[in-house]
């Protein structure tokens, strides 16, 4: 049972890795904690559901539709709210993101109601390996997340956009002097973040049923993962997500599963008290 829970925790951690990475990218480049990550994840799940169930598209095409939809929603939110408030400070932007979250969540509730929904995917038998039960959905989640993480790492390290994003994250004023336009980088960051959250919504919909609160169910764990890894550190966000995923699943050995979110709250509390920068936050700050 412990081995099964540990494996499930790794998959849960991989699922948390994409939204945690999206959260830390916004914090690193745009300097505020985006409270709308859960709502944008929900939007991605519903966009994929419409494409898959109502339009009859395969899951790969539905995932692409979800990524584009949430990327577009991110651009709209930036143009209507965040860009206008960018000079007001991180607290103002955080509060604005709460408003964006409420708008997106209630738009989804208005169009789709409160009923639980699921994707139209073929049923498949789980694989058993060394006593561990591995579902097809878990394999899909692992492959998709690893591919996305590799792609984002390549983008941040080896492309002009990645270098510009890192420059703005380190010193926006100095980057502007060198010809990097922060407005353009902010919008491209929202495109990347929206695509990650859209794909995360698809994976969450494969892992559980889709409802207006699907993103909220992951919200605390996402923030715990990003804070644990160190806000602003992409590598830290992934490590934090894996740690939170394993910790939440393994907690089922000692507490009822309904209370496993207590682990995320405990991690946030401990970090705020003893190491506010997270695992890699101090290192990221020195860069």
Structure confidence by residue, pLDDT tens digits, 173-199: 888 888 888 889 999 999 999 999 999
Q: Provide the pLDDT for residue 276.
A: 66
Q: Provide the pLDDT for residue 275.
A: 72
Q: Provide the pLDDT for residue 69.
A: 97
Q: 121-130, 158-167, 200-209: which range is least confident on average? A: 121-130
Q: Provide the pLDDT for residue 281.
A: 60
How many Å apart are CA 94 and CA 116, to the nearest integer? 29
How many Å apart are CA 163 and CA 92, to the nearest integer? 27
Q: 52-56, 69-73, 267-271: which range is least confident on average? A: 267-271
The answer to whether the beta carbons of residues 70 and 40 sit under 8 Å apart is: yes
pLDDT over threshold 70, residue 120 = yes
Q: Provide the pLDDT for residue 264.
A: 83
Work out the pLDDT band at 285, boundaries 50, 70, 90: very low
Q: Provide the pLDDT for residue 24.
A: 94
Work out the pLDDT band at 265, boundaries 50, 70, 90: confident
Q: Provide the pLDDT for residue 197.
A: 96
Q: Provide the pLDDT for residue 287.
A: 36
Q: What is the pLDDT of residues 75-115, one digit of tens each?
A: 999 999 999 898 888 899 999 999 999 999 999 999 999 99
Q: What is the pLDDT of residues 1-40, one digit of tens each?
A: 788 888 888 999 999 999 999 999 999 898 899 999 999 9
How many Å apart are CA 220 and CA 165, to the nearest integer? 26
How many Å apart are CA 62 and CA 46, to the nearest integer? 10
Q: What is the pLDDT of residues 204-259, one digit of tens each?
A: 999 888 999 999 989 999 998 998 888 888 888 999 999 999 988 888 888 777 77
Question: What are the CA-CA distances from residue 122 to residues 125, 126, 134, 136, 142 (Å)?
Answer: 10, 12, 16, 10, 18
Work out the pLDDT band at 124, boundaries 50, 70, 90: confident
Torsion of CA 150, 67, 105, 28, to 10 degrees: 40
Work out the pLDDT band at 279, boundaries 50, 70, 90: low
């Amino acid at each position: 049972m412990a081995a099964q829970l540990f494996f499930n925790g790794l998959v849960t951690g991989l699922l948390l890795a994409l939204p945690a990475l999206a959260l830390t990218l916004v914090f690193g480049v745009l300097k505020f904690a985006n409270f709308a990550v859960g709502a944008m994840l929900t939007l991605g799940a519903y966009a994929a559901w419409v494409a898959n169930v109502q339009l009859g598209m395969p899951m790969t095409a539905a995932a692409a539709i979800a990524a584009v939809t949430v990327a577009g929603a991110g651009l709209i939110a930036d143009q209507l709210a965040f860009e206008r408030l960018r000079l007001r400070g991180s607290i103002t932007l955080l509060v604005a993101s709460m408003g964006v979250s409420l708008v997106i969540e209630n738009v989804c509730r208005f169009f789709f109601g409160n009923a639980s929904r699921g994707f139209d995917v073929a049923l498949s038998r789980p694989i058993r390996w060394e006593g561990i039960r591995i579902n097809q959905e878990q394999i899909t989640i692992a492959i998709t997340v690893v591919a996305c993480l590799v792609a984002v790492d390549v983008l941040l390290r080896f492309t002009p956009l990645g270098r510009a994003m890192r420059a703005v994250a380190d010193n926006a004023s100095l980057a502007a002097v060198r010809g990097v336009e922060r407005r353009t980088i902010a919008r491209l960051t929202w495109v990347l973040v929206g695509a990650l959250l859209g794909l995360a919504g698809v994976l969450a919909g494969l892992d559980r049923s889709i409802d207006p609160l699907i993103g909220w169910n992951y919200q605390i764990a996402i923030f715990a993962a990003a804070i644990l890894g160190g806000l602003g550190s992409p590598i830290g966000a992934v490590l934090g997500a894996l740690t939170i995923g394993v910790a939440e699943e393994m907690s089922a050995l000692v507490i009822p599963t309904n209370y496993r979110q207590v682990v995320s709250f405990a991690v946030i509390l401990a970090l705020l008290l003893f190491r506010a920068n997270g695992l890699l936050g101090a290192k990221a700050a020195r860069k």
